[in-house]
Amino acid sequence: MSEAFFTIQDLWVRYVTDHETVYAVNGLSLSLKRGQTLGLVGETGAGKTTTALSIMRLLPPRVSRVDQGNILFNGVSLMDLSEEEMRRVRGEKIAMIYQDPMTSLNPVMTVGDQVQEVLELHKKQSRRALYKRVDELFAMVGIPPDRKKEYPHQFSGGMKQRIVIAMALACEPELLIADEPTTALDVTIQAQVLQMIAKLKDELDTSMLLITHDLGVVAQTCDMVAIMYAGKIIESGTVHDIFHNKDHHPYTEGLFGSIPKLTVESRRLSPIEGLMPDPTNLPDGCAFAGRCPACMPICMAQEPDYCQRASHAIKCHLFTGENRGEAV
């Protein structure tokens, strides 16, 4: 296996307004190898989108503060790049797909022109080569190239998301960040789009950071999984670690208990009681302690370290120190 070409090291991001400080990302580290897909799983407010925006350096400038941390891409720190250099990275080396295909296309430009614009920005080439490439891209995402003269409103949601994907892949980026790319789509269309993303990723040898809350989507598309809670990664590993290993962070257990199973008959779900802690006022110790069914005194006082077992890491006191082995 190749070395990680993309790493985030100990990233801390907060949003500061006159009234409050929201601690969005609190010491997040992850790494991604070439060609792999990493699923970043978490609920609303876990800091998934903030992480993605930090990578793209698109955090809202006035209110956001990156206090600490580094993001390395092919050995270069994205934090040190000038705005000019960063603009070249965006779209060309790292591309992003947003959640809502309805609002991420310009309604007054034909879809062909929008794809073409991305190409023009990043690659100098002749008119003819440009047109040919646009046609190729449309064919690649399964849209007849003769529809490129149409406007976004003439396409369905799934089709629009295909166009967004065509734009993201136009320059064959090395890293694709997909922020809930299929959440707004119907299941049958979601299946089509996921299948297409997987196929294109293999063909172009692109790595992907897939942000989602859907464990099913993760299981079907990712190689690695990282589960986020209150701005931290609380468990990470390969898909098999997460979906087949016996030991889990109690939050991960809760997430699995919350989804109704199609294959098993169950009368009641076992949800996680309570709510996510207030990001303006995070508790000491483990952020999940207040909702955790296995909470111990130490959890309130001290933040747990990662317990690393081969590729599987769990940030929980149940698996570290003297508690090791007592786990449920």
Partner 1 sequence: MTQLLVETRGLRKYFNTSRGKLHAVDGVDFSIEEGKTLGIVGESGCGKSTLGRVILRLTDATEGEVLYQGKDILTYGRKKMLDMRKKMQMIFQDPYASLNPRMTVSEIIAEPIRIMKTLEDKQQINRRVYQMMNVVGLSGRLVNAYPHELDGGRRQRIGVARALAVDPAFIVCDEPVSALDVSIQAQILNMLMDLQEEFGLTYMFITHDLSVVKHISDDIGVMYLGQCVELSSSRQLFERPLHPYTQALLDAIPMPDPDHAMGEILKGEVTSPIEPSPGCRFANRCKHAHEACLGQDIPVYQPFPGHQVKCVLYQEGAE
**Under the rule (CB under 8 A), what is the footprint of partner 1?**
43-44, 156-159, 186-192, 194-195, 213-221, 239-240, 243-244, 254-263, 266-273, 275
CB neighbour class for 314 (10 Å; exposed up to 12, middle 13-18, buried from 19)? buried
Of 19 and 268, CB closest to partner 1: 268
DSSP conformation class of 188: H
User: 259 or 328, CB closer to partner 1?
Assistant: 259
In this structure, are residues 181 and 193 in contact, taking their beta carbons and an 8 Å threshold? Answer: yes
21 burial class (0-12, 13-18, 19+ CB within 10 angstroms)? Answer: middle
Q: What's the closest the beta carbon of residue 56 comes to partner 1, in angstroms? A: 24
Closest contact distance (angstroms) between CB of 211 and partner 1 is: 14
Provide the minimum distance between the beta carbon of 161 and partner 1 in the complex, in angstroms, as a whole number: 12
> Shortest approach of partner 1 to residue 74 CB, angstroms?
29
CB 254 within 8 A of CB 68: no
Complex with partner 1: residue 215 or 313, whichever CB lies closer = 215
Q: How far is the CB of 231 from partner 1 (least distance, A)?
A: 16
CA 43 – CA 230 distance, rounded (Å): 9
Structure tokens at 283: 């508790």
Is residue 44 a contact partner of residue 230, using CB atoms and an 8 Å limit?
A: no
Residue (126 or 266) nearer to partner 1, CB = 266
CB burial of residue 181 (10 Å; 0-12, 13-18, 19+): buried
CB nearer to partner 1: give 69 or 142.
Answer: 142
Q: Is 25 left (phi over 0), alpha (psi -120 to 50) or beta?
A: beta
Report d(CA 175, CA 131) in Å as an integer.
25
Shortest Å distance, C-beta 262 to partner 1? 5
**Residue 173 three-state SS:** coil
* Cβ at position 25, least distance to partner 1 in Å: 18
Comparing CB distances to partner 1, the nearer of 128 and 267 is 267
In the complex with partner 1, the residue whose CB is nearer, 69 or 157, is 157
